[in-house]
Amino acid sequence: MRDRKRSGRKLFKGRLFKRNRTRTKLSKTELFERAPIPRALAAMGIPTIISQLINLIYNMVDAFFIGRTGNAYMTAATTVTLTLTMLNVAFSNLYGIGGGSLIARLMGQKREEEGRKVSAYAVRGALGLGLGYSLIVGLFQSPILRFLGASEATIGFAEQYVLFVIVIGSTPTILSLTLSHLLRNTGYSGKASLGLSMGGVLNMALDPLFMFVILPRGQEVTGAAIATLISNVCACCYLLFAYRRASNKAPLTLRIKEARGLAKELKKSLYTVGVPSAVLTGLFDVASVCVNKLASAHDDLVLAAFGIVMKIERIPNAFNIGLCQGMMPIVAYNYASGDRERMYGAVRTARIWGLIVSAVSILLLEIFARPAANLLLSTAAGDALGAAATVTLAAAFLRVRCLAAPVQLLNYHSSFALQAVGRGGDTLLHACVRELGIYIPLMLLLDKLFGQMGLAAALPAGEGLAAIFALWLLRRALNANCKNAKSKMRWKTGDI
């Protein structure tokens, strides 16, 4: 009798364990189609957010360790090169987000074979872009850096950094970012995030080794650049391995020859989303160039201060971009499969979560502005007076610019949602209006009227106006995609 009870308990526990394990491990189809929206968004978004934050930390690690030297000119030099580094992201978005969004929609329509061809085409395009970008920067490095705001005091440091991170390192960086987008949009968010995070952790370990142990004093910028290059190459190697493994189950392939059979309409769909996404990031870089040039017109310390602020304010942006990237495949898949209710739920949930994070970030940055700035530039080494002045400026700028966090979220969120449903034209329009029509003109005007504090205030003012336009575009797009009056009524009454 006891043996029967024991065997019954074991059987019950086994079934319970099996049921719990089934609930924990969702298939890709269940994740996209049936899992509760908060759970699906968390499964896709949390690894991406972690990846974004670690990737941000790994970019900030260079600034942190360079800041330990107390040399504000080295910090200013890395600020100038930030634009070239961000162009890696822009180029990866062209084929990563353009191809990834298209593959997610093809999966929703059960057209996996065509998705494989799209993935091959995206990988080939990313390789070509990386090689071309490296060549151009290598040939015209000095004029480009001068244009971006490098002065006689900073251009030497900037050239050291660009040689390793851009000229040598752009191809593995662009390829790894593209692979991560493709993996994420086919449901492998964890693998994509692990690859990028691995590079970030490795860079944290290698930076002090190359900067303060291997290379002599005065070569700290070169040491940071070499550490970043090695980290990016290692991340790329892992993502290639993960991508190949995932291709056994997902519509992915590294066989570039399969790209030859891609239909013209699918290429058009890829570029319809990919080009606006790349332009969006590219225009963000154009705005950064304008900030750098206007800041450097005041002096190099103001430029260094803005460089510190632009790194710190990327922390809430990293969370929100990761959240929106996690939302994007869910929206794209359910848009293609026709499940509008689930699509709208993902859009609404991601926006609410992002606004909460933005509000918390404003509170923290207002309170800890100076300690955060001091973290990226030491006032106890090197030129202590110049470093202290730079930190004071950075804290003042940060308290103004951090107010942009909620409206920046609305801009990112609307843009990713538009890309997910294939509205590339609206994404491009939003990017142009946001940067060229609103932010840059406001930047020039406020800098002229109020000086460097006006330049800082241009960000929250510009992002706020752009967010109003973005929400109008998103509402128009989602209403156009509604196929029945009931869905349209829900969007209009604020349920979305």
Tell whether 12 is covered by a domain: no
Is residue 335 in a domain? yes
pLDDT at 400: 94
Count of structural domains, the chain:
1
The model carries a pTM of: 0.72
For the stretch 59-96, pLDDT in tens is 666 667 777 676 777 877 777 787 788 888 889 889 99
What's the pLDDT band for 49 if we cut at 50, 70, 90? confident
The whole-chain average pLDDT of the chain stands at 83
User: What is the 3 state secondary structure string of the chain?
Assistant: CHHHHHHHHHHHHHHHHHHHHHHHCCCHHHHHHCCCHHHHHHHHHHHHHHHHHHHHHHHHHHHHHHHCCCCHHHHHHHHHHHHHHHHHHHHHHHHHHHHHHHHHHHHHCCCHHHHHHHHHHHHHHHHHHHHHHHHHHHHCHHHHHHHCCCCCCCHHHHHHHHHHHHHHCHHHHHHHHHHHHHHHHCCCHHHHHHHHHHHHHHHHHHHHHHHHHHCCCCCHHHHHHHHHHHHHHHHHHHHHHHHHHHCCCCCCCCCHHHHHHCCHHHHHHHHHHHHHHHHHHHHHHHHHHHHHHHHHHHCHHHHHHHHHHHHHCHHHHHHHHHHHHHHHHHHHHHHHHCCHHHHHHHHHHHHHHHHHHHHHHHHHHHHCHHHHHHHHCCCCCCCHHHHHHHHHHHHHHHHHHHHHHHHHHHHHHHHHHHHHCCCHHHHHHHHHHHHHHHHHHHHHHHHHHHCHHHHHHHHHHHHHHHHHHHHHHHHHHHHHHCCCHHHHHHHHCCCC
Give mean pLDDT, residues 119-128.
92
Asked if pLDDT for residue 56 goes beyond 80, the answer is no
pLDDT at 18: 41
Domain extent for 268: 36-492
Is residue 27 assigned to a domain?
no
- Tens digit of pLDDT for each residue in 237-285? 999 999 999 888 888 988 888 888 788 899 988 998 888 888 887 888 7
140 located within any domain: yes
Q: Is residue 21 part of a domain?
A: no
pLDDT per position as a tens digit, 142-193: 998 888 877 788 888 888 889 999 999 999 999 999 999 899 888 887 888 7
Query: Higher model confidence: residue 410 or residue 384?
Result: 410
Specify if 29 maps to a domain.
no
- pLDDT per position as a tens digit, 190-219: 888 788 778 878 888 888 889 888 888 878
Q: Which residue has the higher pLDDT, 397 or 49?
A: 397
pLDDT > 50? residue 452: yes
Q: What's the confidence (pLDDT) of residue 27? A: 66
Answer whether residue 4 is part of any domain.
no
Q: Does residue 225 lie in a domain region?
A: yes
Read off the pLDDT band of 443 (50, 70, 90).
Answer: very high
Whether 466 has a pLDDT exceeding 50, the answer reads yes
On the question of pLDDT at 8 being above 50, the answer is no
